[in-house]
Copies of this chain bind each other. A is one copy, B any other.
Amino acid sequence: MYRMTAIKETSTIQENKAYALAQCPVTYVMNRIGSYWKPIILYNLSHGDMRYSELKRAIPAVTEKVLIQHLKQLETDQLIIRDAKPVVPPFVTYRLSAAGHGLIPVIEAMANWAKEAAAGQYDVGKDVTD
Protein backbone atom coordinates (compact mmCIF):
# COMPACT_ATOMS: atom_id res chain seq x y z
CA MET A 1 0.00 0.00 0.00
CA TYR A 2 1.08 3.51 -0.75
CA ARG A 3 2.65 5.34 2.14
CA MET A 4 0.58 8.33 3.19
CA THR A 5 0.94 11.00 5.83
CA ALA A 6 0.46 9.95 9.42
CA ILE A 7 -2.76 11.88 9.90
CA LYS A 8 -4.47 10.11 7.02
CA GLU A 9 -3.45 6.71 8.31
CA THR A 10 -4.76 7.18 11.80
CA SER A 11 -7.62 9.67 11.55
CA THR A 12 -11.03 9.97 10.02
CA ILE A 13 -11.98 12.90 7.86
CA GLN A 14 -13.98 14.43 10.66
CA GLU A 15 -10.92 14.34 12.88
CA ASN A 16 -8.86 15.85 10.10
CA LYS A 17 -11.37 18.65 9.86
CA ALA A 18 -11.18 19.26 13.59
CA TYR A 19 -7.42 19.41 13.28
CA ALA A 20 -7.57 21.83 10.36
CA LEU A 21 -10.01 23.95 12.33
CA ALA A 22 -7.59 24.39 15.18
CA GLN A 23 -4.81 25.34 12.78
CA CYS A 24 -6.69 27.66 10.44
CA PRO A 25 -9.00 30.48 11.56
CA VAL A 26 -10.67 30.65 8.15
CA THR A 27 -11.73 27.04 8.56
CA TYR A 28 -13.51 28.02 11.74
CA VAL A 29 -15.42 30.72 9.86
CA MET A 30 -16.32 28.37 7.02
CA ASN A 31 -17.92 26.01 9.48
CA ARG A 32 -20.23 28.83 10.53
CA ILE A 33 -21.05 30.64 7.31
CA GLY A 34 -19.60 28.26 4.77
CA SER A 35 -22.74 27.59 2.80
CA TYR A 36 -23.76 29.41 -0.33
CA TRP A 37 -26.70 31.26 1.15
CA LYS A 38 -25.57 32.20 4.64
CA PRO A 39 -23.41 35.20 3.71
CA ILE A 40 -26.19 36.41 1.43
CA ILE A 41 -28.69 36.20 4.27
CA LEU A 42 -26.31 37.99 6.61
CA TYR A 43 -25.71 40.67 3.98
CA ASN A 44 -29.41 41.39 3.84
CA LEU A 45 -29.71 41.46 7.62
CA SER A 46 -26.72 43.77 7.90
CA HIS A 47 -28.91 46.62 6.67
CA GLY A 48 -31.40 46.11 9.46
CA ASP A 49 -34.00 43.73 10.89
CA MET A 50 -36.12 41.85 8.40
CA ARG A 51 -39.26 39.80 8.49
CA TYR A 52 -39.19 36.30 7.10
CA SER A 53 -41.29 37.34 4.12
CA GLU A 54 -39.04 40.31 3.46
CA LEU A 55 -36.02 38.04 3.32
CA LYS A 56 -37.92 35.76 0.97
CA ARG A 57 -38.62 38.63 -1.39
CA ALA A 58 -35.10 40.01 -1.04
CA ILE A 59 -33.57 36.66 -2.03
CA PRO A 60 -36.04 35.22 -4.56
CA ALA A 61 -33.58 32.60 -5.78
CA VAL A 62 -33.62 30.69 -2.52
CA THR A 63 -36.44 28.26 -1.80
CA GLU A 64 -38.47 28.55 1.38
CA LYS A 65 -37.17 25.26 2.69
CA VAL A 66 -33.55 26.22 2.29
CA LEU A 67 -34.13 29.72 3.61
CA ILE A 68 -35.78 28.60 6.84
CA GLN A 69 -33.22 25.83 7.17
CA HIS A 70 -30.37 28.33 7.11
CA LEU A 71 -32.16 30.77 9.37
CA LYS A 72 -32.56 28.00 11.95
CA GLN A 73 -28.92 27.08 11.65
CA LEU A 74 -27.77 30.68 11.94
CA GLU A 75 -29.96 31.03 15.00
CA THR A 76 -28.50 27.87 16.53
CA ASP A 77 -25.02 29.19 15.80
CA GLN A 78 -25.88 32.42 17.63
CA LEU A 79 -25.35 34.59 14.58
CA ILE A 80 -28.91 35.84 14.28
CA ILE A 81 -31.80 36.33 16.68
CA ARG A 82 -35.37 35.35 15.93
CA ASP A 83 -38.12 37.51 17.32
CA ALA A 84 -41.66 36.16 17.01
CA LYS A 85 -44.64 38.27 18.02
CA PRO A 86 -47.58 36.16 19.22
CA VAL A 87 -50.03 37.50 16.67
CA VAL A 88 -52.00 36.20 13.72
CA PRO A 89 -50.87 36.32 10.99
CA PRO A 90 -47.41 35.63 12.37
CA PHE A 91 -44.91 38.45 12.66
CA VAL A 92 -41.35 37.16 12.84
CA THR A 93 -38.28 39.30 12.51
CA TYR A 94 -34.64 38.30 12.24
CA ARG A 95 -31.69 40.41 13.28
CA LEU A 96 -27.97 40.02 13.75
CA SER A 97 -26.61 39.02 17.15
CA ALA A 98 -23.39 40.46 18.53
CA ALA A 99 -21.44 37.71 16.79
CA GLY A 100 -23.43 38.36 13.63
CA HIS A 101 -22.54 42.03 13.78
CA GLY A 102 -18.93 41.00 14.13
CA LEU A 103 -19.20 39.43 10.69
CA ILE A 104 -20.21 42.68 9.00
CA PRO A 105 -16.57 43.53 8.13
CA VAL A 106 -16.37 40.20 6.31
CA ILE A 107 -19.58 40.87 4.40
CA GLU A 108 -18.55 44.44 3.66
CA ALA A 109 -15.18 43.29 2.36
CA MET A 110 -16.98 40.84 0.08
CA ALA A 111 -19.30 43.54 -1.22
CA ASN A 112 -16.35 45.85 -1.81
CA TRP A 113 -14.47 43.26 -3.78
CA ALA A 114 -17.53 42.55 -5.91
CA LYS A 115 -17.90 46.24 -6.67
CA GLU A 116 -14.24 46.55 -7.57
CA ALA A 117 -14.49 43.50 -9.80
CA ALA A 118 -17.63 44.88 -11.43
CA ALA A 119 -15.79 48.15 -12.03
CA GLY A 120 -13.16 46.23 -13.96
CA GLN A 121 -10.43 46.75 -11.41
CA TYR A 122 -9.23 43.18 -11.76
CA ASP A 123 -9.07 42.77 -15.50
CA VAL A 124 -7.85 39.70 -17.28
CA GLY A 125 -4.12 39.54 -17.65
CA LYS A 126 -3.28 41.82 -14.78
CA ASP A 127 -0.66 40.38 -12.50
CA VAL A 128 0.82 41.23 -9.17
CA THR A 129 4.43 42.08 -8.59
CA ASP A 130 5.48 42.08 -4.96
Chain A residues with CB under 8 Å of chain B are: 5, 7-8, 13, 16-17, 19-20, 24-31, 34, 36, 39-40, 43-44, 57, 59-62, 76-79, 81, 95-103, 105-118, 121-124, 126-128, 130
Contact = CB atoms under 8 A, between A and B. Distances in A.
Contacts of A113: 29, 102-103, 105-106
A102 B78 contact: no
Contact of A109 (B8, B96, B109, B128): B109
A96 B26 contact: no
A8 B60 contact: yes
Given A36-B34, A102-B122, A122-B98, A61 B26 contact: no
B127 A29 contact: no
A61 B110 CA distance: 26
Contact of A110 (B29, B36, B115, B123): B29
